[in-house]
Structure 1
Amino acid sequence: MEAAPTGQRSSHQSVEKGRSRHKIPRHVETDIAYLYEVLPQLSRIFRIIDKIGEGTFSTVYLAEAQMTDGSRRMFALKHLIPTSHPVRIAAELQCLTVAGGTENVMGVTYCFRKEHHVVIVMPYMEHQTFVDIVGSLSFEDVKHYIFHLLKALRHIHKFGIIHRDIKPTNFLFNQQRREYTLVDFGLAQGTPDTQIELLKELLGLDKAPRSVFGEKNINGTNSHKPGTDKVEGLLLKTKREEVIPRKIVSSKHRSVPVRTPLNQKPKPPTVSPMLTCNCFMTDRVCNVCLSRKQQVAPRAGTPGFRAPEVLTKCPNQGTAIDMWSAGVILLSLLSGRYPFFKASDDLIALTQIMTIRGSRETKEAAKTFGKSIVCSRELPRLDLRILCETLRGLRSWDDTSLPAEFQASRNPAEVKQDAGSPTKKRMSSGSPRSIAELQEMGWDKVPDNAYDLLDKLLDLNPATRITASTALQHPLFKDMTD
C-alpha cells in the first residue's frame, strides 16, 4: 500500500512547533538532503520541513512555498520510488488531474521529474488521525463522514476509477472544519469503460504479476509462521484442487512415493479427489491450505478492507470493492472498534467476514462469482445493531450471544470491571465512555437506517452491493444536501 499524501500530524503548525522543540531525526534530514540532490529544482521553490509518510511505493514530505502574492502555503510532496512503472505513475497523475480537485477528491498542483525520480505536489490538508478520534465522534459526525466518503466514491466511479485502497488513512478528515479528501490513487485500476485513458493500459499491464505493483505474498510458505494457522472454531479452504501434496494417494489409500528420472525435472503430482488437506474438519487453517497454488487476480489494497471477491481472487473486480471497504469503515465508526478486521492471511480474513455475515451466506455469495468455499462449522449471521452496540458499550456482554472471537477481543481493563455495570464498559478503541456520554453523543438513538445502509455496503455479493450513487439517496441522508 502507498503512503498517504499527508502525514500523521494534524497541521503544519504542529510540525513547526515540533521542530522548534527538538531536532528532526538524522535519517530524515538525510532523506530530505537526498531529495534535494536528485531533484535540485525543488530547492528553488520549496522548503521541505519533514517526512510525514512512508510506504512501499512512495515517501511523502511536508513542504512550504512562498506564493506570488507573498503568502506562504503548505504542500505535500509525494516522492515515488524510482522503480515504479512509468504507466503507473502517469495513470495516478491522470486520475488526480481528471477527477481530482472537487467532490472531496484530492487534486494535483504540479509534478517534478528528473530522470527516474518523480515528485507529485499536492495541497496539504490539516487532518486528525482516524485512530485518535474514532472513539470521540458523535453519530452525527459519523453520518457526515460516511456521506462525504460516498460522494468521493460516486465521483471517481463516474470516471471508471476503482480506487482499490479505500481506508481511513486515505480519506483525510478535519473534524473542526468538516473537510474531507480522498487521496492516494497509486493502486487505482480502471473499469472496462473507464474515462482515464492510462488506466486502460493498466488493465493489460496488471494482468502480468509484477513485484513492484503487487504486495508481498502472505499466503506463501516462506511467510507462514508456526502457530499462526490456528483460527478459533473455524476452518476455511478453497474447494479447488489447487494444493500440491507431497504424496500421491492410491486407490487403497496408501502413500505411494513419486519416482523421477535423474535427467528429468519432477512434475507436480495430480491431486486425487479422495485427498483432503491436513486441516479439513479441524479448527485450524493448515500449512497446505496456506501454501496452495496462487491464482493470478488483482488483490491490491490493505488487509482488513479487502472485499470477499478480492480475498477469493475473483478475476472480475469492479467498483463494488470500494463500496465494501466503505462498509468496513462504517462498521468501525458504528462499533467504535478500529481496525475491525485484522488478519495476516486472506483465508483467515475470510473467516472473520463469515463470523459477521454468516457461513451459509458467504458460500452462496461466492458461488455467484465462481468460487466454492467449504466451512466445517456453520456460523450464523449476526445482527449488526447488537454487534455494534455491544462493542461500543451500550449493551452488556452478558446479554448477548456474540461469538468467542469478539469476547476474546475485549479490552483486559474492561473484563476486570464489574460485568453487571454497563456504565463502566470500555469501547474497543478510544477513551472510556460512560452510558451518559454515549447518549449525549447520540449513540443511543442510532436509527435502523444506519444499520440498513451498513448491511447493503457489506453485501457479500458484489453484483447486488449498493453503489455510491444509490447509497447517497439512502433514507439515512434524507436531511443532508448533496
Structure 2
Amino acid sequence: METVLKSHCDEQHPQEAEELQRKQEQNKQLSGIKKDIEKLYEAVPQLVNVFKIKEKIGEGTFSSVYLATAQLQTGYEEKMALKHLIPTSHPLRIAAELQCLTVAGGQDNVMGVKYCFRKNDHVVIVMPYLEHESFLDILNSLSFEEVREYMFNLFKALRRIHHFGIVHRDVKPSNFLYNRRLKEYALVDFGLAQGTPDTKIELLKTTQSEGQQEDSVHHSVQRSVFGERNFNVSSSTYQENSSTKLIKQSKMIDVSSRKLVTKKKIISTKTVSSGVARKAASGCPSNLACDCYATDRVCSICLSRRQQVAPRAGTPGFRAPEVLTKCPTQTTAIDMWSAGIVFLSLLSGRYPFYKASDDLTALAQIMTVRGSRETIQAAKTFGKSVLCTQDVPAQNLRTLCEKLRGTNSSCTRSKDDTHTDSVNDLDLPVETDKQCAPKTLGKEIQHIQSCQESDGALEVKATDMKGWDQVPDDAYDLLDKLLDLNPATRITAKEALLHPFFKDMRL
C-alpha cells in the first residue's frame, strides 16, 4: 500500500520527486568528497597543520585537485590549489612534471608551483589558485575580441614552454584556465608532458621513452583535472616506441578496417607493457625500503619500482594527425594543432568540435574538414600511409564556422541548436569496421555544409553579434596554419604571436 501511495505521489508531483532525487545525489556526492578529503589528510598528514581543504574542484585520470586555504603570517588567508597525484605514475614522471612547473612556470600564463608535499606514493603539488570559468558555459557569450585575447595568451604560454623544449601533449580548454573578469590565464597539467630532443628539462630526457611505454589499450574516461567535464573518451592509446619496432613505420592505416588494426595494436601493447613490468619487477627487490623520504632526491628503489599501466596520450578530439597515426617523431607542433582545435571551437561556437571514440574515427573526422586527399598526402610526409574508401573534399573554414555559429545572412539557428553540438553530433559517417557507404558520407558532408532551417528559428541580430559579423580573413588564415596537416610546416607559437591577426597586441 505504501509503495502504491508513493508511486501515486510521484505521478502527482514529478518535479518534487526529481528535486528530491537531485538533492539525494548531491548529498551523496558531498559525502564522497568529504571522505576523499579525509583520506588525503591521512595519506599526507603534513597538510593538516598547513592547509584547510575546502572542497574538491576537479578530478582527472591521474590526479584530483582541491581548493584549500593557507594561513599566512600576516594573518591573511590565501587560496591555493592542491593537486594530489594518484599513485599510478613513476616517480620520474612526477619529478619531471614538477621540474616543468618550476623551470617554465610562474610567467607568460604558465602555472607555477609554490610547495610540494610527499608521503610514500602520495604527492601533493601546491599551486596558486586561479578562479576560472567553464569553457562550455561562456563559449557562446564571448565577444570576438575576447576570443582574440584568449588565443594570444594561449600562444604566449605555448611559446614559453616550447622555448624550454616541453611538449605539453594535452592542450585543451580545461587545461588553460581563464578568469574572464580579471583577464588572467594559466596553462596547467604537465602530467603528460614530454621533451624535445634538445629539451632544457633534464628529467624529460629520462621520461621520454618511459612516457611512450606507459600508454595502454585500456578504455577509460579522461576527466579534466580542474573540473570541466571532458566529452572525449580515451581509446587505444599505444604510442609507438621506435626502439621496439613492433609496428613498422610504413604500416598502412585503413579507416575502413579498424578490427584488424586494433588487434595488432593490443598485441603490440601487451608485449611492451609486460616487458616493462618484468624489467621494473626485476630491478626492485621487495625487501628494500625507500630511503629518500623527506629529502630532495629520488632514491634508486623508488625509481625502479613497478609502474602501473595507464593511458597517457591526451584527449582524442585534440590529437594531431601525426599522433593519431602513431608517428614516432612528435614535436611541439602537436600542441599547435590542439590550439587550432580550440580556436576552431571558438570560431564555430561548437565544443567539443570533434568527439571520437578511437583514433581512427578521429582521423576520419579530421578528413571531413581538411579533406581526405590532403590528409593522405600529409601522412606520407611523416612516413605513414592512410587509406580512405571515398574522396572527401576539404571545407572552407570561414564558411564552415559561420554556418555553425549562424553568423551569415543565409543561415538561421534553431533555438534547440546549442553550442554543445560537436561535428560528431552531425552524424559522422565513418564506420571504421566496414567500408564507408557513399550515401552516409555524402549525407554527413551535406549536413556540415548547410544549416538546417526549422520552425521557430532564431535570427541573429547584428546588435548582438559582439564583433562576430566582422571576423577578418586573418583569423581564418591563422586557423588554416594551425590546422596544417603537415607538422613540419605547421605554424609555431612564436610565429603565431607575430601573425597579422594579433598585429595591434603587445607581446
Q: Same fold (TM over 0.5)?
A: yes
The correspondence of residues 58-137 of structure 1 with structure 2, limited to 5 A, is 58-137=63-142
Equivalent residue, structure 2, for 1:336: 349
The answer as to whether partners of 1:104 and 1:151 remain within 8 angstroms in 2 is yes
Equivalent residue, structure 2, for 1:346: 359
2:462 equivalent to 1:436: yes
Q: 1:324 aligns with which of 337, 351, 361?
A: 337
Specify the code of the residue in structure 2 equivalent to 1:204: S
Shift of 1:115: 1.4
Q: Helix, strand or coil for the counterpart of 1:365?
A: helix
Q: 1:218 aligns with which of 225, 235, 249?
A: 235
The answer as to whether partners of 1:215 and 1:300 remain within 8 angstroms in 2 is no
2:172 equivalent to 1:161: no
Shift of 1:210: 5.4
Shift of 1:409: 7.6
* Cα offsets for 1:143-173 (capped at 9, x unmatched): 0000000000000000000000000000001
Q: 1:56 aligns with which of 61, 73, 77?
A: 61
**How far apart, in 1, do the equivalents of 2:445 and 2:173 lie?**
22
Structure 2 unaligned segments of length 5 or more: list them. Answer: 1-22, 222-233, 238-248, 273-310, 413-440
Q: Helix, strand or coil for the counterpart of 2:265?
A: coil
**How far apart, in 2, do the equivalents of 1:404 and 1:33 lie?**
53
Q: Helix, strand or coil for the counterpart of 1:343?
A: coil
Q: Helix, strand or coil for the counterpart of 1:165?
A: coil
**How far apart, in 1, do the equivalents of 2:448 and 2:40 lie?**
43
Equivalent residue, structure 2, for 1:240: 251
Equivalent residue, structure 2, for 1:251: none
* Percent of paired sites with the same residue: 61
The answer as to whether partners of 1:84 and 1:212 remain within 8 angstroms in 2 is no
Shift of 1:209: 4.1
Shift of 1:213: 11
**How far apart, in 1, do the equivalents of 2:121 and 2:346 lie?**
41
Q: 1:300 aligns with which of 301, 310, 313?
A: 313
Equivalent residue, structure 1, for 2:195: 190
* Cα offsets for 1:252-280 (capped at 9, x unmatched): xxxxxxxxxxxxxxxxxxxxxxxxx9x95
Shift of 1:178: 1.0
**How far apart, in 2, do the equivalents of 1:239 and 1:191 lie?**
23
Q: 1:363 aligns with which of 361, 376, 379?
A: 376
Assess, with a 3 A threshold, how the Cα gap between structure 1 residues 403 and 134 changes in structure 2: closer, same or farther: farther
Structure 1 window deviating more from structure 2 (299-308 vs 178-187): it is 299-308
**How far apart, in 2, do the equivalents of 1:303 and 1:133 lie?**
23
2:439 equivalent to 1:416: no
The correspondence of residues 403-482 of structure 1 with structure 2, limited to 5 A, is 404-405=443-444, 415-417=453-455, 424=458, 434-439=460-465, 441-482=466-507
The answer as to whether partners of 1:239 and 1:374 remain within 8 angstroms in 2 is no
**How far apart, in 1, do the equivalents of 2:323 and 2:505 lie?**
32
Specify the code of the residue in structure 1 equivalent to 2:260: V
**How far apart, in 2, do the equivalents of 1:67 and 1:179 lie?**
23
* Cα offsets for 1:396-448 (capped at 9, x unmatched): 459xxx96436658999x75326xx6xx16xxxxxxxx232443x00010000
Q: 1:388 aligns with which of 393, 401, 408?
A: 401
**How far apart, in 1, do the equivalents of 2:442 and 2:402 lie?**
15
* Cα offsets for 1:345-382 (capped at 9, x unmatched): 11110111011001111111000000001111111111
The answer as to whether partners of 1:219 and 1:291 remain within 8 angstroms in 2 is no
Q: Helix, strand or coil for the counterpart of 2:111?
A: coil
Assess, with a 3 A threshold, how the Cα gap between structure 1 residues 410 and 368 changes in structure 2: closer, same or farther: closer
**How far apart, in 2, do the equivalents of 1:392 and 1:437 lie?**
15
**How far apart, in 2, do the equivalents of 1:37 and 1:123 lie?**
23
The answer as to whether partners of 1:65 and 1:74 remain within 8 angstroms in 2 is yes
**How far apart, in 1, do the equivalents of 2:328 and 2:219 lie?**
15
Shift of 1:291: 3.3
Shift of 1:303: 1.3
* Cα offsets for 1:42-79 (capped at 9, x unmatched): 11011101111111111111101111111111111111
**How far apart, in 2, do the equivalents of 1:151 and 1:191 lie?**
19
Larger helix share, 1 or 2: 2
Specify the code of the residue in structure 2 equivalent to 1:39: V
Shift of 1:288: 3.2
Q: 2:34 aligns with which of 17, 22, 29?
A: 29
Q: Helix, strand or coil for the counterpart of 1:206?
A: helix
Shift of 1:36: 0.7
What RMSD over aligned residues (CA atoms) do the two structures have, in Å? 3.0
* Cα offsets for 1:320-347 (capped at 9, x unmatched): 0000000000000000000000010111
Q: Helix, strand or coil for the counterpart of 1:90?
A: helix
Q: How many residues align?
A: 390
**How far apart, in 2, do the equivalents of 1:90 and 1:213 lie?**
25
Shift of 1:39: 1.1
Equivalent residue, structure 1, for 2:328: 315
Assess, with a 3 A threshold, how the Cα gap between structure 1 residues 459 and 205 changes in structure 2: closer, same or farther: same
Q: Helix, strand or coil for the counterpart of 2:498?
A: coil
